[in-house]
Amino acid sequence: MQARIPAGLDRKEIEAYKHLDPARLPRHIAIIMDGNGRWARRRHMPRVAGHRAGVTAVRSTVETAARIGLPALTLYAFSEENWKKRPKAEVNFLMGLLGRYLKAEVPTLNKNNIRLEYIGRQHELPDDVQERMEWARESTASNTGMILTLALNYSARSEIVDALRSLVNAASRNGGLEHLRIDEDTVASHLYTADLPDPDLVIRTSGEMRLSNFLLWQLAYAEIYVTGTLWPDFRGLHLLEGVAEYQKRERRYGGLNHPEEKPESAHMSEILSNKSAVRRAKAARN
Ligand code: FPP
């Protein structure tokens, strides 16, 4: 039976969607948006023109993700390193762009039933940006569809440091450090992403093969899809191509997908024991 095509997809997206299995969508996709600077340079434009064009890509990707019923999408908008190491003028431009994006996009987020969240050291951002972020979060808080998380001033190592600090603080509030228990579940429950499933798929644009300090804990078992497309050229259609690639992969989480197949070592011991049986038979004959 032909799967129901979600409303709002364009012609090319419909064609791509028909090749997907809607029952095996990733629960969470994380995207490292990269290549804005190169996109601008190729057009002899200033870097910030690439960031501006990147907003169109964000809009298209977010809408398509929500339309196909993806439960969660996380976008690496800028890292702690971007925030601390890029020229002030570029950082200011990105702050302004973020503020304008949030103001303009809230109605569309609400129309698509999208709830907005953030990860990163939000308290280090300018006060007016924090206020706008809080306003946008509250304006979408009652939506029940896709969770869109923007990683802003984000660093995975800082996140793990913050999680460990929060763990220790929680233990000292709850009866002292002798009650401190550290295991994978408790660490995960203190990460910024405590309420999200780990991403099944991470997409990186512009061809670079790095994780760049993004969700290092949460991406432990994620499938990685790198596309040469520069972020400003990325659209919902490219997201669907990433999902198609994900659906072709076999995920094993360190185990075996076909346990009925004997592991290599079992084959090996069988071969060796056959060999010694042959040797024993030959020796008996002689
Ligand atoms: C990486 O490209 C991109 C960024 C550091 C900023 C990402 C921002 C946007 C996509 C627009 C704003 C986003 C929102 C959510 C409003 P780069 O500058 O590192 O590119 P390069 O590697 O080619 O130099």
185 belongs to the catalytic site: no
Tallying the residues shown for the chain, one arrives at 286
> Model confidence over 205-217: pLDDT tens digits?
999 999 999 999 9
Q: How far apart are CA 141 and CA 146, in angstroms?
A: 11
Backbone angles phi, psi at 268, to 5 degrees: -60, -45
Within 6 A (CB) of ligand 1 lie: 33-38, 47, 51, 54-55, 58, 75, 77-78, 82, 97-98, 101, 150, 206, 231
Q: How far apart are CA 7 and CA 67, in angstroms?
A: 7
34 belongs to the catalytic site: yes
Q: Is the pTM of this model over 0.95?
A: no
> Model confidence over 46-64: pLDDT tens digits?
999 999 999 999 999 999 9
Q: What is the CA radius of gyration of the chain?
A: 24
Q: Which CATH number fits domain 11-255: 1.20.120.450, 3.40.250.10, 3.40.1180.10, 1.10.760.10?
A: 3.40.1180.10
Are 196 and 222 in contact by the 8 Å Cβ rule? The answer is no
> Model confidence over 127-180: pLDDT tens digits?
999 999 999 999 999 999 999 999 999 999 999 999 999 999 998 888 888 878
What is the pLDDT, as a whole number, of residue 245?
97
What is the pLDDT, as a whole number, of residue 3?
66
Mutate to test the pocket of ligand 1, among 52, 125, 231, 235 (most ligand atoms within 8 A of CB): 231
Backbone angles phi, psi at 236, to 5 degrees: -50, -35
User: What residues does 78 pair with on adjacent strands?
Assistant: 152
Q: How far apart are CA 27 and CA 70, in angstroms?
A: 6
**Which atom in ligand 1 lies closest to the alpha carbon of residue 55?**
11
Mutate to test the pocket of ligand 1, among 31, 36, 108, 140 (most ligand atoms within 8 A of CB): 36
Q: How far is the CA of 33 from the centre of ligand 1 (A)?
A: 6
> Model confidence over 113-140: pLDDT tens digits?
999 999 999 999 999 999 999 999 999 9
Q: Which of 10, 21, 34, 36 is catalytic?
A: 34
Q: Which of 21, 36, 82, 195 is catalytic?
A: 82
Q: How far apart are CA 31 and CA 43, in angstroms?
A: 24
